[in-house]
C-alpha cells in the first residue's frame, strides 16, 4: 500500500484524485484500493506469464478468496499450496507471497525451527507418526490464525483426514502437479526420509504419486 502512496507523491497527486489501471486483481487493484485510489481492471496484457502470475490468475477466479470481515472490511483467506515432493511448493509459495505482500510459511521449516532438528533427524529419532502429529498440531494452529498467509505444507500432510479438514477451512488450496518424470528428475539425490531405503527410488516415487494424486485432487476440489 505504501508504494502506491509513494507513487502518488512522485507524480504529485493525491490518492482520491488518481486512477490506477491494472491487469491483476491482487497486486494491482487490491493494493491500489487499500491506498484509497480508484481502479480499473483490464484483461491480462501479456500472453506469457511466470508461474506465480498464473497462480494469481487462478486465485482471481476463485470467489472464496475475499470474504466479508467484521466492520465491512474485506480480507483474504490463507492460500495453501500442496503437492508431491519436488513439485516446487516452497519456491512458488515464496514468490507468490512476495507478489501478494503476504507472509510465507513452510510447515516443515516451522517444525524444524520448533524442534531444533532437521526433518530427517525427527524421523530417525522419534519416527514418522510423531512427525505427522507435529504437522497436525502446526496446521491446526495455522487454521485459527487470522493473519493472511501463503502456506506450503509437506507432501504427506494432506494424506491425514483430520488435516484435510483443517486445510479446507483455511482458504484456497492450490495443488502443484508434476509428472512422474519431472518429479523423479528433481528428486535425484534427495535425502527425503520418505524415500530413504527404497531399492528403486523411481518406482517408489511413481507408486507414492499414484497413491497421493487422487488425495491431492480431492483436497484441492473441496
In this structure, how many other beta carbons lie within 10 angstroms of the beta carbon of residue 108? 22
Does the structure show a pLDDT above 90 at 152?
yes
> Are the beta carbons of 204 and 155 closer than 8 angstroms?
no
pLDDT for position 40: 74
Which CATH topology does 49-220 take?
Rossmann fold (3.40.50)
Place of cell 528433481: 186
Over residues 164-175, mean pLDDT: 89
Mean pLDDT of the chain: 83
Report the share of the chain in percent with pLDDT over 70.
82
pLDDT for position 133: 95
Would you place residue 166 in the very low, low, confident or very high pLDDT band (cuts 50, 70, 90)? Answer: very high
pLDDT for position 48: 67
pLDDT for position 39: 82
Could you tell me where the DSSP H helices lie in 78-194? 89-100, 107-115, 119-126, 128-143, 161-170, 180-186
Instruction: Indicate the domain borders of the chain.
Output: 1-46, 49-220
Compare 54 and 66 and report the one with higher pLDDT: 54
pLDDT for position 136: 95
> Are the beta carbons of 170 and 66 closer than 8 angstroms?
no
The upper half-sphere exposure of residue 108, i.e. CA atoms within 13 Å in the direction of its Cβ, equals 18
CA distance 75 to 190: 38
Amino acid at each position: 500500500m505504501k508504494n502506491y502512496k509513494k507513487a502518488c507523491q512522485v507524480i504529485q497527486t493525491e490518492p482520491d484524485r488518481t486512477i490506477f489501471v491494472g491487469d491483476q486483481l491482487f497486486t494491482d487493484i487490491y493494493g491500489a484500493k487499500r491506498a484509497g485510489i480508484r481502479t480499473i481492471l483490464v484483461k491480462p496484457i501479456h500472453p506469457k506469464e511466470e508461474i506465480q502470475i498464473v497462480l494469481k490468475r487462478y486465485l482471481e477466479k476463485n470467489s472464496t478468496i475475499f470474504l466479508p470481515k467484521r466492520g465491512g472490511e474485506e480480507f483474504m483467506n490463507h492460500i495453501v499450496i500442496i503437492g508431491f515432493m519436488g513439485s516446487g511448493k516452497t519456491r512458488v509459495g515464496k514468490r507468490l507471497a512476495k507478489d501478494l505482500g503476504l507472509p510465507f510459511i513452510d510447515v516443515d521449516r516451522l517444525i524444524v525451527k520448533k524442534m531444533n532438528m532437521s526433518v530427517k533427524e525427527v524421523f530417525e529419532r522419534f519416527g514418522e507418526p510423531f512427525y505427522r502429529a507435529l504437522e497436525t498440531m502446526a496446521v491446526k494452529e495455522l487454521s485459527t490464525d487470522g493473519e493472511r498467509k501463503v502456506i506450503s505444507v509437506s507432501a504427506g500432510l494432506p494424506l491425514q483426514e483430520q488435516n484435510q479438514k483443517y486445510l479446507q477451512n483455511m482458504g484456497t488450496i492450490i495443488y502443484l502437479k508434476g509428472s512422474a518424470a519431472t518429479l523423479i528428475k528433481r528428486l535425484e539425490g534427495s535425502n527425503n526420509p520418505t524415500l530413504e531405503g527404497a531399492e528403486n527410488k523411481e518406482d517408489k516415487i511413481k507408486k507414492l504419486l499414484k497413491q497421493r494424486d487422487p488425495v491431492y485432487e480431492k483436497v484441492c476440489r473441496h
